[in-house]
Structure 1
């Protein structure tokens, strides 16, 4: 949108809520938009509800969550239902074969669950080095069993449900089971992604499921049924998550990994049996009058988001508004955060991550002082945070593209922010006979185990969880009351997407739909990246005048945000994807 349109859309949330709440019989539910293609936008309007709300990446998944909430289910119950439906309708992004981070607020206690995948016991640091000792090409590593980590999503969902669920386990699995049996129509987005995909059709099960006999992706509107997945869900409904980590399903996973014809992995039944979800304390920081909370390591997301916000706190973002000056600050803050992220963050079970130092107010203030309001610093260097201990060093990268996000608030004010992934689009391009795709999460580790003669913090090691950029976030107001639930897919760009949405919500007081739809901008300690085809492209010259190297790139975020107001809930789902926010 242009700047005048943005200003016209900037509405007081409470006032907008009051107008929508009294809008007649359709109160509480926005009409699901038509699904969009893999790129481009579908115009969406803010959604409102008086009791509960779910925002998810596909209308069918959101409707499943809404159904569970209407039946009296908790936010966690709804999250289980949504995730399992996403396994069907958005298979390229998340599902049983992957992992997730969940941030939970139960009305009094905030906690996080780490369902990140782990490396098999046989994994070695040189896993992604070729015969010549150099890092493999990305897709040579991705496609096949070599890249598959031990999945964590199913155990995470059961762990959360046992503690915070209200409805029976079988009931929250039922929407996905029914959909797998009866089928769903292939959306333009899924068809478009299959059309672009180069590797999936080489897998026989995936080819039979997603493609016609002529090798073309099944057409938009084709009803896609998954009886194998329905059988898997019925097994889990009857026997719980143990049936995923042992028995026939586990054997199927191992056989799919180790039996890949060109790139086999080394996962064992013992690896699956040993998998555990880690419950960790939430990482919280102050931003103006708000408290922003999320997932700590092995995710780098929340640390980086809080570092960005701490830098922005040193200027009046509300006065800047969207434009080159605001992007300058956001980009410089991103450089500083990504410099620290690359050096310091990895699995805390293997690396002594200096979380306290990286989020220390004094340290963050000293980092923010490096920002020149009139000139870009170019490439930032990592800082020297306090409270360090000896640990592995070395910069490395790891990103996930096959990712989704779920935001939920239930009738009791409990909230879930969950980002969930299989890493790259369609994961390892390996489909089990149990009806789901497997992740390629191990390529989120550094391919090079040593850099500059030092061991890399995020190198492959047995049982280790790869670093992530996922940043599921829950925000509280100055009275410690739930204010917002936010998150996005998008690989390492997640950090900038979430920071942008928070600035939109907290500084510019935008409603969540407008905040989600703002042009994406930022820096990952390289060029300043502006979203191509948006108003941001017009800011290129102004940024170059400040010394920025600017690149225009596609930035297909999927922000899902819910804000709590005195009148109820308002929500938004990123217009770049096919998701919706709906409630009761």
Structure 2
């Protein structure tokens, strides 16, 4: 793909930047912020940009870019800082997917750092008395912890695309660990709502006061234990994590839970490997989208949804009931296929080529009535398919974050990173980081109707995900946008909505990420409570939709590359910013 070179703009360096470019002035006016969405200013920059879920993390990425670092270098610094300032969502105790754009080489690459089930895992891991365990019972404790992959992913990405020395990238998080950072309102609020986390002694001593109250907003939180972990990682790389004392502590924390122990071993940690996957790329109108393939379902489902929406003139429709109807119906079709066909490709033959075949998607689009909801869609019969196992149910990953970065050379990273539920398994190691509960993304029941479920637990297997780090290219093959979001299985709808808002409705990235969320996961049509989408409820019900109003707390980060520079949006529902120079 040919490269895109930027023209000169005035240097902008404030943390929240004012929109003033000609490109921004030609876009649609910003929608009013709804309940739960802070009003944020569009970020602009000339040379590079980083967007992340916390200002301290985004600033760490910007500083690495200022020092001449690559997009990957910045992503590493951002992730390690997020481990501190947004510990409920991601960190080295979890996993991640990275989509990378190499501007000079014109190549998209994807790295899979998803957690894996330990060698001792069995398909009935989350069954109790012949029935699936209650979700909360399964999550809390060592049973739900998968072998973490994030740190190995960062190290592998640095080996391929890093520029600055590895120890330099650890320094921003190390400094914050030692000197401390202010507890944010969001972290305080989530800690206040926790009942399980305070029962973990290590976490209680770190996050809570002696009287059991969470550390107050603005209180300075220091993490000397994580500082020691970071010093070891700076000196030895991922070996310090997957072998030796840190690994021993992970194993002890998981297996030593008093009521719900897990079975991770030192051998499981030492055996973990990053997988490079083929990018899943497809067309949408004049654009080309590339994302992460299985075990993530995100890119496939989004491309199926957009392929259905491509049959309609969404620009003419604009945001409203008609577009929401088509968007929800497209979601039903995509989630029906997702449920049956998508799982870890090392354990099931995924008909990837058929699922994103344009003729197949258009044939599915013909099932949509413009006047009436189909209710619940059935999976299709894509071409190039071999015999499949059944994969009916749906995992979620609420403890998730997304990072979007473009560096001065035009290289880009879209990385979605997770510990699954908020605060993961509610286990904090003596090394100062939380552990994931990613194994609850597997189906709890290993069989349905007497058939094995594709997304059942198996040794060494990676659970299906909805994470959807996405790169968008224009008709000339030039990088146009870097997008992604947290949000469990709703990630698919959040990212698809943002893409429609950017590409069809011509919103700027701040408007696009802030616009009300809506869609269907092949169940009720979901509209974000308190947003502009709530007003569509009655009209959608008149079309036969069962509508539910929900809190839909996305955390989308989007960067758009224009001839004048970069425009960035950080979701107003969370604390992030998009900043650069």
Give the SS at the match of 1:272.
helix
Residue pair 2:398, 2:422 contacting (<8 A) in 1 also: yes
1:136-187 Cα distance to aligned partner (Å, 9 max, x none): 0001100000000000000000000011000000001110000000000101
1:376-403 Cα distance to aligned partner (Å, 9 max, x none): 1110000011111123223121110000
Q: Which residue of structure 2 lines up, in the alignment, with residue 112 of structure 1?
A: 110
Does residue 44 of structure 1 match 2:40?
A: yes
Tell me how far apart the structure 2 counterparts of residues 272 and 571 of structure 1 sit (CA, whole Å): 37
Tell me how far apart the structure 2 counterparts of residues 310 and 545 of structure 1 sit (CA, whole Å): 25
Residue pair 1:28, 1:48 contacting (<8 A) in 2 also: no
Give the SS at the match of 2:336.
helix
Tell me how far apart the structure 2 counterparts of residues 21 and 29 of structure 1 sit (CA, whole Å): 17
Q: Which residue of structure 1 lines up, in the alignment, with residue 241 of structure 2?
A: 244
Pairing partner for 2:123 from 110, 125, 134 = 125
Does residue 535 of structure 1 match 2:532?
A: yes
Tell me how far apart the structure 2 counterparts of residues 314 and 437 of structure 1 sit (CA, whole Å): 45
Q: Which residue of structure 2 lines up, in the alignment, with residue 90 of structure 1?
A: 86
Q: Indicate the RMSD between aligned Cα atoms, in angstroms.
A: 1.3
Does residue 338 of structure 1 match 2:335?
A: yes
Tell me how far apart the structure 2 counterparts of residues 391 and 525 of structure 1 sit (CA, whole Å): 20
Q: Structure 1 length as normaliser, TM-score?
A: 0.94
Give the SS at the match of 1:232.
helix
Tell me how far apart the structure 1 counterparts of residues 322 and 571 of structure 2 sit (CA, whole Å): 24
Q: Which residue of structure 2 lines up, in the alignment, with residue 363 of structure 1?
A: 360
Give the SS at the match of 2:413.
strand
Tell me how far apart the structure 1 counterparts of residues 16 and 520 of structure 2 sit (CA, whole Å): 34
Tell me how far apart the structure 2 counterparts of residues 427 and 26 of structure 1 sit (CA, whole Å): 37
Residues 372-387 of structure 1: matches in 2 within 5 Å?
372-387=369-384
1:441-467 Cα distance to aligned partner (Å, 9 max, x none): 000000000011110010000000000
Q: Which residue of structure 1 lines up, in the alignment, with residue 570 of structure 2?
A: 573
1:350-393 Cα distance to aligned partner (Å, 9 max, x none): 01011111111111010011011111111000001111112322
Q: Which residue of structure 2 lines up, in the alignment, with residue 30 of structure 1?
A: 16
Residue pair 2:12, 2:580 contacting (<8 A) in 1 also: no
- Unaligned regions of 5+ residues in structure 2, if any? 1-5, 19-34
Relative to 1, partners in 2 of residues 1:302 and 1:426: Cα closer, same or farther, differing over 3 Å? same
Pairing partner for 2:311 from 305, 310, 314 = 314
1:60-110 Cα distance to aligned partner (Å, 9 max, x none): 000000000000000000000000000000000000000000000011110
Residue pair 2:12, 2:45 contacting (<8 A) in 1 also: no
Does residue 292 of structure 1 match 2:289?
A: yes
Residues 464-503 of structure 1: matches in 2 within 5 Å?
464-503=461-500
1:188-217 Cα distance to aligned partner (Å, 9 max, x none): 110000011121000000000000000111
Give the SS at the match of 2:241.
helix
Compute the displacement of 1:41 (Å): 2.1
Tell me how far apart the structure 2 counterparts of residues 527 and 391 of structure 1 sit (CA, whole Å): 27
Does residue 562 of structure 1 match 2:569?
A: no
Q: Structure 2 length as normaliser, TM-score?
A: 0.95
Tell me how far apart the structure 1 counterparts of residues 15 and 263 of structure 2 sit (CA, whole Å): 47
Residues 77-226 of structure 1: matches in 2 within 5 Å?
77-107=73-103, 108-130=106-128, 132-226=129-223
Pairing partner for 1:59 from 55, 62, 84 = 55
Q: Which residue of structure 1 lines up, in the alignment, with residue 66 of structure 2?
A: 70
Q: Which residue of structure 1 lines up, in the alignment, with residue 23 of structure 2?
A: none
Compute the displacement of 1:26 (Å): 4.4
Residue pair 1:28, 1:49 contacting (<8 A) in 2 also: no
Tell me how far apart the structure 2 counterparts of residues 261 and 466 of structure 1 sit (CA, whole Å): 25
Q: Which residue of structure 2 lines up, in the alignment, with residue 545 of structure 1?
A: 542
Compute the displacement of 1:575 (Å): 0.5
Give the SS at the match of 2:569.
strand
Tell me how far apart the structure 1 counterparts of residues 348 and 194 of structure 2 sit (CA, whole Å): 36
1:257-295 Cα distance to aligned partner (Å, 9 max, x none): 000111000000000000000011110000000001100
Does residue 257 of structure 1 match 2:254?
A: yes
Residue pair 1:170, 1:237 contacting (<8 A) in 2 also: yes
Residues matched between the structures, number: 558
Tell me how far apart the structure 2 counterparts of residues 78 and 373 of structure 1 sit (CA, whole Å): 45
1:516-557 Cα distance to aligned partner (Å, 9 max, x none): 011000000001000001111111011111111111000000
Give the SS at the match of 2:132.
coil
Residue pair 1:28, 1:50 contacting (<8 A) in 2 also: no
Tell me how far apart the structure 2 counterparts of residues 325 and 362 of structure 1 sit (CA, whole Å): 24
1:232-263 Cα distance to aligned partner (Å, 9 max, x none): 01101101111111101100100000001110
Tell me how far apart the structure 2 counterparts of residues 59 and 41 of structure 1 sit (CA, whole Å): 16
